[in-house]
A and B are shown apart, each in its own frame.
Chain A
Amino acid sequence: MTPLVAVTKDPLSLDALTAAVADGAGADGAVTSFAGLVRQDNLGRKVAFLEYEAYEPLAVKGLQRIADEVKRNWPSAKLGVHHRIGRLALGEASIIIVAASPHRGDAFAACRYTIERVKQIVPIWKHEHFDGGDVWLEGATADPDDETARQTAYRIACA
């Protein structure tokens, strides 16, 4: 059975996650999904591959926390989110998100909110290997209690 929240070394399956999230019996009128892929160009560098590292127990808790926030923001929405770690080739999915709800607005918003929050609070790091070197990418200082960051994600999701 596919878990709704996971951090895994295995390739991600949008079909499996969609089947786990969406109610196929008619309750959901909308399913949205997002997949983040390894991109070949980053800040002028030619990317060869990415290695993702996680503090796994806290990363899983972070994803679960985001799912709980989604439930509070959009009570009718259901969410699944899987993040891959380890070495990923160009074009492979590093994250997949599926949101289902009776109406499309909540499903789109939940999906967008989730990716914004992942980038804010989930302890996962990209190690970029490019032509000529490698670099650890560093984005946000993770603070799940930072209400300003949470509201920013919410605003983006509802724009």
Chain B
Amino acid sequence: MRVTVRLFARLRDLAGSGELVRDVPAPATIEQVWRSLVKDMPALADYERTMSVALNTDYSRMSAAVQDGDEVAFLPPVSGG
């Protein structure tokens, strides 16, 4: 199945793109999407301890199941205001 991955701020810079389309075997969780990304882009790995994740524009957890067509976002620590 195919999911859209959104990356922001320094994660986006490290990946060289803010939006990627990834194919992952079903069934899958957000964590499996992340693992597949890190396999291709090891520089992202440092963010695993500090980032937040979102599924279809709501905060979520690494253990959440993803479906075909979902949008998964990985968010570095925030610095708004």
Chain B binds chain A: yes
Whether the Cβ atoms of A118 and B81 lie closer than 8 Å is yes
Whether the Cβ atoms of B81 and A36 lie closer than 8 Å is yes
Whether the Cβ atoms of B77 and A58 lie closer than 8 Å is no
Specify the main secondary structure of chain A where it touches its partner: mixed
Residues of chain B within 8 A (CB-CB) of A94 are 80-81
**A36–B79 alpha-carbon span in the complex (Å):** 13
Whether the Cβ atoms of B79 and A126 lie closer than 8 Å is yes
Residues of chain A within 8 A (CB-CB) of B13 are 136
Counting contact residues on chain B (CB < 8 A from A), the size range is 20 to 34
Nearest opposing residue in chain A for B11, CB measure: A136
Whether the Cβ atoms of B78 and A142 lie closer than 8 Å is yes
Whether the Cβ atoms of B8 and A53 lie closer than 8 Å is yes
With an 8 A cutoff between CB atoms, is A140 at the interface?
A: yes
Whether the Cβ atoms of B10 and A141 lie closer than 8 Å is no
Residues of chain B within 8 A (CB-CB) of A124 are 78-81
**A124–B77 alpha-carbon span in the complex (Å):** 9
Residues of chain B within 8 A (CB-CB) of A36 are 81
With an 8 A cutoff between CB atoms, is A87 at the interface?
A: no
Whether the Cβ atoms of B78 and A136 lie closer than 8 Å is no
Q: List 24 A-B contacts (CB under 8 A).
A: A52-B80, A58-B57, A59-B80, A119-B81, A121-B78, A122-B78, A123-B73, A123-B78, A124-B79, A124-B80, A125-B9, A125-B78, A136-B9, A136-B13, A136-B79, A137-B79, A138-B10, A138-B50, A138-B77, A138-B78, A142-B52, A142-B59, A143-B52, A143-B59
